Amino acid sequence: MSRSPLRRLLILFALMLPAGCGVGTQNDLRDNALFAYAGAIRWGHIDDAWSMVDPDYAREHPMTALDRERFEQIQVTGYQVKGSEMLSENEMLQLVEIRLINKHTQAERTVQDRQRWRWDPQLRRWWLTTGLPKITAGTT
């Protein structure tokens, strides 16, 4: 039995728990989204991470089969937030260092992921507006 539906349910639960209890603040929901996204990237749950990408970005930059294959050939060995900055109440930047190993070559490397997140007040959730990390060689 695939665990993917269970993982999705747990991520959705983590994102919605504070809102469902009536005590979730925008900051709580942001922290939950960042935590869930980091976990999805760390454990290679790319579909779960992709579900947090802004729908407008996803429409303009759909994930290709090649993109998916690239994520399947790496193992994330580290995910460290190097800095974050609130640009406004509804937008933030985050710089993350991601260490990864190519499963085929066993070569380790590091990429910098510059994330921009935005708050959607209608849906009461945060969206990643910069897409998934650029993991191909030579990108930062």
For tokens 């910098």, the residue is 112
Residue 12: pLDDT above 70?
no
Q: How far is CA 66 from the centre of its chain?
A: 19
Average pLDDT of the chain to the nearest whole number: 89
**Model confidence over 28-71: pLDDT tens digits?**
999 999 999 999 999 999 999 999 999 999 999 999 999 999 99
Q: What is the pTM of this model?
A: 0.81
Residue 24 binned pLDDT confidence (cut-offs 50, 70, 90): confident
Q: How far apart are CA 77 and CA 91, in angstroms?
A: 28
Provide the residue ranges of all domains of the chain, joining segments of one domain with +: 4-128
DSSP output for 4-17: HHHHHHHHHHHHHH
More confident residue, 1 or 16: 16
User: What kind of fold does domain 4-128 have according to CATH?
Assistant: Nuclear Transport Factor 2; Chain: A, (3.10.450)
